[in-house]
Amino acid sequence: MIVSTLQSDQEAHDWDQYVLACQTASGYHLSAWRGVIHETFGHPTTYLMARDEQGVVRGVLPLVLLSSVTFGRFFVSLPFFNYGGLIADNGEAMTALTEAAERQAQSVKASHIELRHQEPCGIEWPSSQRKVSMRAQLPKQFDELWNGFSSKLRSQVRRAQKEGMTVRVGGAECVEEFYEVFSRCMRDLGTPVYSKKFFDVMVKAFPKESRICVVSLGRVPLAAGFLYGFRDTLEIPWAASDRRYNRLSPNMLLYSSALQYACQQGFRLFDFGRSTPDSGTYRFKEQWGAKPCQLYWYYWLAGGESIPKLNPDNPKFKAAISIWQRLPVPVANLIGPYIVKYLP
């Protein structure tokens, strides 16, 4: 088995053909995400591809190197997204790719490698199962889904409609409104925000797969979600609402509208993103019919290292979150992208 790094356009074509034929691949395995990450964040990438003796691609592993004084140096597959990891036809390809990844990590003195898998695989690395992905099966008709919602949930959606809120689903033309809501929401949560450029670049790279759903009252956007479709699944990796209008339930109309759009477009599965079991976001997604699907994050660890805990629940981040929540939105939007680029 020969392992090489992705370099040429022809290799990118071969990579994508393999991803599209592999049933365990996610949309984030497509090679264009390499360009999105590089253009937005400037992180070095190592896209490993295993071929057999006949030159047939047998497995791929996209890796992104994050390096900073504060958070250290490590590889992630993939940062900023819910999914990634290694996909391979057989154990030989899997072993070749993991060994190549380990050598790469050792060569740059990385503390660890993190692979974000949707299901268990044969990698003999320590793993974490702290998170689940919340997914709902979709009927062909939205009415069937609607009728299964609780009366309380339906009344919350109707509340937003009665207030005169409108919904539109679009592409690049909606990024500005999405970011207005998203950046304020991230500040309120105490979380550094991505740059607007990140979303502009994604929509440009994936114009057919990316959609933005915006809920507005008049000309004021109150809630918005970024949608990404791959195969039969529509995912909402980023969603936000302006908490000043929570009593009017714009967020409920957002999710109802996103689910309706998914049904209309023929998607069979709606992915609400990852959550910690029994958390507030877990219960919120559960009320829409979502069921938990266990996630498996695998780690290669350098000598003496332990599985990292770069998450908001880590006590050492509590003070920073509290300070961030007090920042004016323009200041948070200016500083945030320089911090979040190092948070996977």
In a domain, 322, yes or no: no
Same domain as 138, residue 105: no
**For position 37, what pLDDT does the model report?**
98
Question: Which among 148, 168, 179, 156 is positioned nearest to 290, based on CA atoms?
Answer: 148
Same domain as 182, residue 54: no
Q: What is the CATH number of the domain that holds 33?
A: 3.40.630.30
Q: Distance from CA of residue 130 to its chain's centroid?
A: 16
Tell which of 293, 316, 334 closes a domain.
293
In a domain, 332, yes or no: no
In a domain, 339, yes or no: no
Same domain as 215, residue 148: yes
Domain that holds residue 224: 133-293
In a domain, 327, yes or no: no
Q: Distance from CA of residue 99 to its chain's centroid?
A: 26
In a domain, 21, yes or no: yes
Please write the tens of the pLDDT for every residue from 8-64: 999 999 999 999 999 999 999 999 999 999 999 999 999 999 999 999 999 999 999
Same domain as 212, residue 70: no
Reply yes or no on whether the pLDDT at 317 is more than 90: no
Place of tokens 């999105």: 36
Number of domains in the chain: 2
Same domain as 147, residue 279: yes
Same domain as 146, residue 277: yes
Same domain as 47, residue 126: yes
Please write the tens of the pLDDT for every residue from 181-236: 999 999 999 999 999 999 999 999 999 999 999 999 999 999 999 999 999 999 99
Reply yes or no on whether the pLDDT at 266 is more than 80: yes
Same domain as 151, residue 126: no
Same domain as 101, residue 151: no
Reply yes or no on whether the pLDDT at 318 is more than 80: no
pTM: 0.94
pLDDT averaged over the chain? 95
- Counting residues of the chain whose pLDDT is more than 70, the rounded percentage is 98
Tell which of 293, 316, 336 closes a domain.
293
Q: Distance from CA of residue 44 to its chain's centroid?
A: 19
Same domain as 179, residue 241: yes
Reply yes or no on whether the pLDDT at 314 is more than 70: no
In a domain, 238, yes or no: yes
How far apart are alpha carbons 55 and 147 in whole angstroms? 52
Reply yes or no on whether the pLDDT at 168 is more than 70: yes
Region of residue 228 (left: phi > 0; alpha: psi -120 to 50; beta: else): beta
Least confident of 23-32, 235-244, 284-293, 300-309: 300-309
The DSSP call for residue 325 is T
**For position 304, what pLDDT does the model report?**
73
Same domain as 184, residue 112: no
**For position 311, what pLDDT does the model report?**
63
Same domain as 110, residue 194: no
How far apart are alpha carbons 254 and 154 in whole angstroms? 12
In a domain, 338, yes or no: no
Reply yes or no on whether the pLDDT at 274 is more than 90: yes
How far apart are alpha carbons 289 and 88 in whole angstroms? 32
Buried b (16+ CB within 10 A) or exposed e, 142-156: beebbeebeeebeeb
Reply yes or no on whether the pLDDT at 156 is more than 70: yes
In a domain, 42, yes or no: yes
